[in-house]
Structure 1
Amino acid sequence: MMDARAMLQVVVFALVFTMLAKHQVWGETDCHHEKVSVMLKCKNSIKIGGPYVRPRPGDKCGTTVQASDMSCVCRVLTEHDEKTVDPKRLVKVAGRCGKPVRVGSDCGSWTVEQPPSSSRGHP
C-alpha cells in the first residue's frame, strides 16, 4: 500500500500534468474558429497591400465580425497570420462593424492605438 508521501507525489504530478497539458488558459475563451472565419470572410478587407475594402452592413464579413469576440481574435492572431492579415485593418474592420477592439490591447504584434482626432483645426 502506498504511503501518504507517495500518494501526494502522484496527486501533485497529475495536477501539474493536467495544468501543462491544457491547451486553453483557464478563464480565457478559445476563439480560433472565429479567427479562421473572420480571416476567410473578411480577407479582402484585412489583407496586406492593395486598397482597403470597407465591409458593408449585412455582408458576410460584417455579420461574421459581429458574431465574433474580436478582442480574442486579435489576441490569438499569430506571426504566421500576419503574413497575410494586416492587424491595423483587422481592428479597423472590427470598429466599422460595431465590435471595436480596446485601445492599448494587442492585435497580433501590433498594439491598438487611439484613432487620430477628427477635429482638424476646430477648437
Structure 2
Amino acid sequence: MANHFSLLLVLAFVLVVTAEDCVVDLKGIIRECKPYVMFPASPKITPASACCSVVQKVNAPCMCSKVTKEIEKVVCMDKVVYVADYCKNPLKPGSDCGSYHVPSQGQ
C-alpha cells in the first residue's frame, strides 16, 4: 500500500511539473497503464488497448526528461520500454529516460 501512495505522490508532482511543457495525460497513464509498468520486473504483461491509446499520445522525450530517481524506484523502466514499443510509441534506442539508458535494438 505504501508503494501505491508513494507512486501517486511522485506522479502527482510530475503532473504539476509536466503539465506546463509536455503534452501528456498523466492521469490516464496512471489509470490505464499502472499494472503494466510497476515492479516487479517480471512478468511483462501485454498492455490493454486503453493503455496503448494513452501511450500513443505521450511526448516520450519530454516525459522522459521528467523521470526522477523516485519514479524509477516504483516504475520498472524495462516495462516502460516494453509498453512503449508494444503501443507503437517507442523510446528512441540509445536515449535516456531519467537515468535509464534505453537499450539499442537487439540488446
Q: TM-score, normalised by structure 2?
A: 0.68
Residue 111 (str. 1) matches residue 101 (str. 2): yes
Q: Which residue of 1 aligns with 2:35?
A: 44
Higher RCO by CA contacts (8 Å cutoff, separation 6 or greater): 2
Shift of the 69–99 alpha-carbon distance from structure 1 to 2, 3 Å rule, reads same
How far residue 53 of structure 1 moved from its aligned partner, in angstroms, is 1.3
Q: How far apart are 1:105 and its partner, in Å?
A: 1.2
Question: Contact conserved, 1:65 with 1:97, CA < 8 A, in 2?
Answer: yes
| Higher-helix-fraction structure | 2
TM-score (norm 1): 0.60
1:7-35 CA-partner distances (Å, limit 9, x unpaired): xxxxxxxxxxxxxxxxx8xxxx7228534
Superposition map of 1:1-123 within 5 A? 30-31=21-22, 33-49=24-40, 50-56=42-48, 59-116=49-106
**Is there any run of 5+ residues in structure 2 with no aligned partner, and where?**
1-16
- Which of the two has higher C-alpha Rg? 1
Structure 1: distance between partners of 2:26 and 2:62: 8
Unaligned stretches of 5+ residues in structure 1: 1-23, 118-123
Q: Distance in 2 between matches of 1:78 and 1:36?
A: 18
Provide the C-alpha distance between the structure 2 equivalents of 1:97 and 1:82, rounded to a whole number of angstroms.
Answer: 21
Distance 1:73 1:93, change over 3 A: same
Deviations 1:25-82 (A, max 9, x none): xxxx7228534532432111111104221114xx221100011112222221111111
- How many residues align? The count is 88
| Superposition CA RMSD, Å | 2.3
Mapped to 1, the partners of 2:65 and 2:33 lie a distance apart of 17
1:75-111 deviation digits (Å, cap 9, x = unpaired)? 2111111121111211111111111111121112111
> Structure 1 stretch 37-46 or stretch 59-68: which is displaced more?
37-46
Query: Given residue 31 of structure 1, which amino acid in structure 2 is its aligned partner?
Result: C
Percentage identity across paired residues of the two chains: 31
